[in-house]
Structure 1
Amino acid sequence: MTKTDIKVSIIGGHRLAGATLHERTLTVSLIGGADIDLTDVDIPDGAELRITKLSLIGGVSLRVRPDVRVAVHGIRLGGVRDEGPSEPGGPTVRVDAWGLVGGVNVRRG
């Protein structure tokens, strides 16, 4: 059975670290982004960790290891900034970002 972490706030974002996350995470806020650090998470090759972000205003700042592929889906005003691997295979983090304003910024290291 897959566990889902749910984080909800009206104003203010969420700061999430790898040790506290399960395979799926849902973060919801009217105003506020999500700052997520997955550099300490060992995601097996072929596995997918899924993060869903719902907000009116607020983006996603995601930190992953250099070998992790990040797939971004959803609708939002704001772009996606990611210089990482885009080939299939290896570990994957899927980000579904839904909102009016806020992009997705992926940092590696």
Structure 2
Amino acid sequence: MTKTSGDHPDKTDIKVSLIGGHRLKGESLSERTLTASLIGGADIDLTDVDIPDGAELRITKLSLIGGVSLKVRPDVRVEVHGIRLGGVQDEGPTEPGGPTVRIDAWGLIGGVSVRRD
């Protein structure tokens, strides 16, 4: 995860495509990332990222069709927000504290699936 400096604390990485999703690895992400496409979801692997306790990594996904497949460590709490037709599959920790990944998923069709390794 790329830390933003004090000069640009609100920096957001933006990934855009018309058709086709995005495959994102943790070391290439900033603290805030936006992925947008007409058709296509986001496949995100954060297993190698050391997110400090109390820190929040925020990912926003915008698409008409396409969900989010997220892979995180077992201790990471995942919060899912947004509007989409599709459920959320996550059986991870829900207690506050520790590292947090916030997914804002906006779209017509596509759920959010969280896998823990």
TM bucket normalised to smaller: over 0.9
- Unmatched runs of 5 consecutive residues or more in structure 1: none
Please state how far the C-alpha of 1:61 moved relative to its aligned partner: 0.2
Match of 2:65 in 1: 57
Which residue, out of 42, 45, 59, partners 2:53?
A: 45
Q: How does 1:1-109 map to 2 (within 5 A)?
A: 1-2=8-9, 3-109=11-117
Tell me the distance in 2 between the aligned counterparts of 1:56 and 1:64: 25
CA RMSD of aligned residues (A): 0.5
Deviation at 1:5, TM superposition (A): 1.0
Could you state the TM-score of these two structures normalised by the residue count of structure 1?
A: 0.98
SS at match of 2:36: strand
Matched length: 109
Q: Secondary structure of the equivalent of 1:101?
A: coil
Show structure 2 runs of 5+ residues with no match.
1-7
SS of the equivalent of 1:19 reads helix
Aligned-residue sequence identity (percent) comes to 85
Following superposition, the deviation at residue 94 of structure 1 comes to: 0.2
Is the radius of gyration larger for structure 1 or structure 2?
Answer: 2
Match of 2:4 in 1: none
